[in-house]
Structure 1
Amino acid sequence: MALLAKIDTFIIDLPTIRPHVLAMATMHRQSMVLVRITDSDGIEGIGEGTTIGGLSYGDESPEGIKLAIDTYIAPLLEQVDLSRVGSVMATIGKYVVSNHIAKCAVESALLDIAGKRLGVPASELIAGGRRRDSMPVAWTLASGETGTDIAEAEAMLEARRHNIFKLKIGKRPVAADVAHVGAIKAALGDRASVRVDVNQGWDEVQADRGMAMLADVGCDLVEQPIARHAVAAMARLSARHAIPIMADEALHGPIDAFAIAANAGARIYAIKIAQSGGVFPAHAVGMIADAAGIGLYGGTMLEGTVGTAASAHLFATFAQLQWGTELFGPLLLTEDVVTEPLTYADFELRVPTSPGLGVAFDEDKLAHFRRDRTTSHHTLQGA
């Protein structure tokens, strides 16, 4: 039986290579919650909970994630066998409603411990284990400037780092946004897939017009064009247009996945472990999509290396990953807090092969970027 010896939860703020423009916010840095759990055998696991733009994107903030873990989840961990990850998460789910990102961070750390205990990568603990060792990775062009975005895409193609590009749109008039997308697609041609993410920025009328125009300029998919709760409108748009809708913000775990599939609201799912509530619920989302004939895309909350590694371990187990992934979060950062970065080459991300998540903290960098700048943790008496 593995008991909790110590848990340390902290926020770090890392600078980004450029402003990242979304429909609801512009990011100038990424704030993420990191959790370090040590069990009674001395095995340490790490996890990450990251959101986008504070509370402008969703209902969890970095500060709220840390509070949920420290105040409500940590005491529950004192009462359970940490080696039984599924059972632990069921206990947390019984006493903590929602707070998906906080739960994801803790579950990732427990999977890291479990993999290290058994000497296997975390992907081998999910369903039937990994089916692939690498996966395609998209890059988001989010400067908002057409010329800048084209130059950035050309540089990525030249470096063989990305040949899938997603454009953040929704702030400008529909015609202006489509002109921006069309110019980029025309410049890249058949060398790359071009997609858009509206981040719920349109209403149904705008989406109707925008989707038709985007299909005409060669765009491959439209991610979450309208509000996440408007499943009926998503179904109407999906029925009217050949260009597929990808559900993202509408997808918060298996219940949403089933409802969207039942209503034909999307033909692609952007699966995010944080938004789903962890690796195991996200796996269930993938199974529902498979059963419904819905394509899969490995989404991101712009996590750093720890969260990206956890996502990659899950996506490596999917039988189909038709639309690739978006696990570029670490590449958006100018600094990192791990000893070895993830490997990106030949348009793909390689899944770590070391036990657990396969990544480890660089303690000096971690100490530098912690908001509290001190090591404060909860150690159990007598541990």
Structure 2
Amino acid sequence: MPATHFIERIQARILDIATIRPHKLSFGAISQQSPVIVQLWLSNGASGFGEAATIGGPSWNEESPESILHAINEHLAPALLGTDGTRAGQALALMDTRCRGNAFAKSAVEMALIDALARTLGVPAWQLLGGKRHESLPLAWTLASGDVQRDLEEAHLRLEQKRHRIFKMKIGARAPEADLAHVSQIARGLEGHATLTVDVNQAWDGNTARRFLPRMIDAGVTLIEQPVAKWNVEALKTLTTALGDRASIMADETVCTPQDAMRLAREQACHVFSLKVAKHGGLLRTRAVAEIAEAADIGWYGGTMLETSLGSAASAHVFSTLGTQHHGCELFGPQLLVDDIVTERMPIVDFELQLPDGPGLGIEIDPERLERFDRARQGLNATHVDLGRRTLTV
């Protein structure tokens, strides 16, 4: 391979894809996902794809599909065009100098670059990320309809299909007593067949969490995700200490950067990190956060932002390179969407997601589906037409 392949072109677009059912969280419900899809071309003709998806637009964090698109078009792409495409770490550092924050936008561009570079080399992306340590990962499913009977029917169907036996419940939108009753009914319905996690999505204060989490553990919950606000590390630490080995506390919104990971490790403020490529700012920084977890004897969980199979495959590649102290993953985003943008999804066999081995991210984008869901082509946001089509010949 020649020493240098320049980044020649970057295109970004917003897609709008409906979900198969409303997905309810503590801060609202979503019935549509709007991922930003990036395609990046190198001067050798190779191209790669990346994705940044948010849950509920800016309801989850500061970035929205529209702000991600703007950051890529106006700041990140102009900074990278004409630079060496064989140096992903250097590209990430350059994006940092041109644009503060915007982790989701940077992650999509970095993902596309690594995909293009791996395809140039004819190797799977995991080879550029440290090498694979897992062939598959236990795959969780989120029960978020808000209805006990519907949730139980959904769970038992997925158990019968041998797709999932780890279930996560989104709570926090209702009164804690109502959430406890809901979780308890689901736990009784799944007892002996599956493990149960709850995700409070920052909805409770420390006192509420201290009152209700022990009762949820008594009902059968084994893993508790982000029970308090992301800034409330003291409450997170108190809960981690108080619960001991009865159940595990998992940080999500609290752990975004490697610096966040260091603070949580020093404070011994959680048992598990929820890893999400977008919130960490890319595949390389996901590994950096995971390495801190491993050094601090903190477990990891492969989280999702409800990506299509594109972003899910990228996450699977980096998760495949991590250590053995894990709690599975929840890369079920493609199953929650009415359609996908790839020709073939990653298979699920005996409750485990099978990790891709093909060149690059190991999946192939379907151009027709990409065009069909393009927001600009649907006429929903005509001002974004062609804003991502920037070309530089070198």
TM-score > 0.5, shorter chain as reference: yes
Aligned: 1:259 with 2:270: no
Q: How many Å separate the matches in 2 of 1:337 and 1:68?
A: 23
Q: Which residue identity is paired with 2:38?
A: V
* Contact 2:13 2:374 (C-alpha < 8 Å) held by counterparts: yes
**Helix, strand or coil at the partner of 2:339:** coil
Deviation at 1:344, TM superposition (A): 1.6
**Structure 1 residue 93: deviation in Å?**
1.5
Q: Tell me the alpha carbon deviations over residues 117-140 of structure 1, each in whole angstroms, 9 at most, x when there is no partner.
A: 11110011112x001111111000
Note the 1:133-144 alignment, pairs <5 A: 133-144=135-146
SS of match in other structure, 1:35: strand
Are 1:276 and 2:280 counterparts? yes
SS at match of 2:301: strand
Structure 1 residues without counterparts, runs of 5 or longer: none
Do the aligned residues in 1 keep the contact of 2:9 with 2:392 (CA within 8 Å)? no
Q: Give, as a single letter, the amino acid of the residue that structure 2 aligns with 1:73.
A: L
Deviation at 1:321, TM superposition (A): 4.4
5 Å-filtered alignment, 1:70-109, equals 70-109=73-112
Instruction: Please name the residue that 1:224 is paired with.
Output: 226
RMSD over equivalenced CA pairs, Å: 1.2
Equivalent residue number for residue 177 of structure 1 = 179
Residue 66 of structure 1 corresponds to which residue in structure 2?
69
Contact 1:211 1:243 in 2 (8 A): no
Whole-Å separation in 2 of the counterparts to 1:38 and 1:361: 15
Map 1:280-295 to 2 at 5 A: 280-295=284-299
CA pair 5-201 structure 1, distance change in 2 beyond 3 A: same
1:56 is the counterpart of 2:33: no
Please name the residue that 2:337 is paired with. Answer: 333
Aligned residues: 382
Which stretches of structure 1, 4 residues or longer, exceed 3 Å deviation after superposition? none
Give the CA deviation at 1:240: 1.2
What is the TM-score when the length of structure 1 is the normalising length?
A: 0.97
1:380 paired residue among 356, 380, 391: 391
Deviation for aligned residue 1:210: 1.3
* 2:28/2:173 contact within 8 Å kept: no
User: Is the Cα contact below 8 Å between 1:315 and 1:321 reproduced in 2?
Assistant: no
State yes or no: 1:357 paired with 2:368: no
**Distance apart, 1:371 and its partner CA:** 0.5
Deviation sequence 1:229-248 (CA, Å, 0-9, x none): 00011111111113221000
Q: Which secondary structure state, in structure 2, belongs to the residue aligned with residue 86 of structure 1?
A: helix
Q: Deviations over 1:262-307 (max 9, x none)?
A: 1111101101110101111110111111111111100111111111
1:246 aligns with 2:250: yes
Distance in 2 (alpha carbons) for counterparts of 1:102 and 1:314: 18
Instruction: Tell me the SS of whatever aligns to 1:233.
Output: helix
Alpha-carbon distance in structure 1 between the residues aligned to 2:71 and 2:366: 25
Deviation at 1:64, TM superposition (A): 0.3
Task: Give the AA of the match of 2:222.
Answer: D
Once the two structures are superposed, residues 7-54 of structure 1 have per-residue CA deviations (whole angstroms, 9 ceiling, x without a partner) of 110000111110000000200011100000111110011000111101
Unaligned runs of 5+ in 2: 379-384
Which runs of structure 2 are paired with 1:93-172 in the superposition (5 Å)? 93-127=96-130, 129-172=131-174
Judge conservation of contact 2:170–2:199 (CA < 8 Å) in 1. yes
Aligned mates of 1:87, 1:59 — CA distance in 2 = 25
What does residue 28 of structure 2 align with? 25
Q: Structure 2: how far apart are the matches of 1:298 and 1:381?
A: 37
Tell whether the 8 Å contact from 1:47 to 1:307 is kept in structure 2 after alignment: yes
Distance 1:337 1:321 in 2: 32
2:320 matches 1:320: no
Q: Per-residue CA shift, 1:302-349, capped at 9, x if unaligned?
A: 111111000000000012242100110111011111111221221111
SS for the counterpart of 2:106 is helix
Structure 2 counterpart of 1:307, which letter?
G
Once residues 326 and 391 of structure 2 are traced to their aligned partners in structure 1, the CA distance between those partners, rounded to angstroms, is 46
Residue type matched to 2:119 in 1? K
Classify 1:79/1:42 alpha carbon distance in 2 versus 1 (closer, same or farther; 3 Å).
closer
8 Å contact kept, 2:81–2:392? no
- Give 1:300's match in structure 2, choosing from 298, 301, 304: 304
Deviates more, 1:369-378 or 1:64-73: 369-378
CA distance in 2, matches of 1:254, 1:110: 22
Identify which range, 25-34 or 234-243, moves more after superposition.
234-243
Q: Does 1:189 align with 2:191?
A: yes
